[in-house]
Amino acid sequence: VRFSAALLDHRLLSREYTDLVLAGKAATPRGKYGYGFSERLVAGKRVVGHNGGFPGVNAELHILPETREVVVVLSNYDPPAATQLAEFIVDRVAGAVPGQAGLSTRTRLSWNTAPPPMSESRSSTVALTVAPSFASAGQRPLVLATTP
């Protein structure tokens, strides 16, 4: 989250280079990819990020630059564990609704409670329950999603 704030505040790169790095260059099935960051639209909102994974680890970073909302999911499970969870959270933070273009329909997760609104002025905690098809029996990861 601090990395995202430093990037958006131009403490890591100038405004010119930040814009260059965060802008997608090559078209992909899920948006665009540029200099280490992906770029796509979710419910009409721009989302940039970086991800990675290997057997036993999966990580996702998604930034909504205009609202400064950040989603980070780290997992000690094989991909796509963090990827699916991050997509679920980003879809809801961006305001996507089921059936809307850009909403990940393959991610089957549900909120324990109604999600709190995210804002720059306070931190929000979101608790999620993972559907049985997503995690093996008995696993109930708790995810904390915060905004600066």
Residue 96 confidence (pLDDT): 86
Which residues of the chain are modeled with pLDDT < 50? 102-148
**Residue 36 neighbours by CB distance under 10 Å:** 9
Residue 120 confidence (pLDDT): 39
Residue 100 confidence (pLDDT): 53
Residue 145's Cβ-count burial label (10 Å; 0-12, 13-18, 19+) is: buried
Average pLDDT, the chain: 75
CA 67 centroid distance within chain: 13
Q: What is the pTM of this model?
A: 0.70
Locate tokens 């609104």: which residue? 117
Joined together, the tokens standing for residue 12 give 């890591």
Residue ranges of alpha helices (H) inside the chain are: 2-8, 15-22, 81-93
Residue 42's Cβ-count burial label (10 Å; 0-12, 13-18, 19+) is: buried
Geometric angle at alpha carbon 73, from 109 and 137, rounded to 5°: 45
Q: For residue 45, which amino acid is it?
A: K
Residues 6+ apart with CB under 8 A from 77: 56, 57, 58, 135
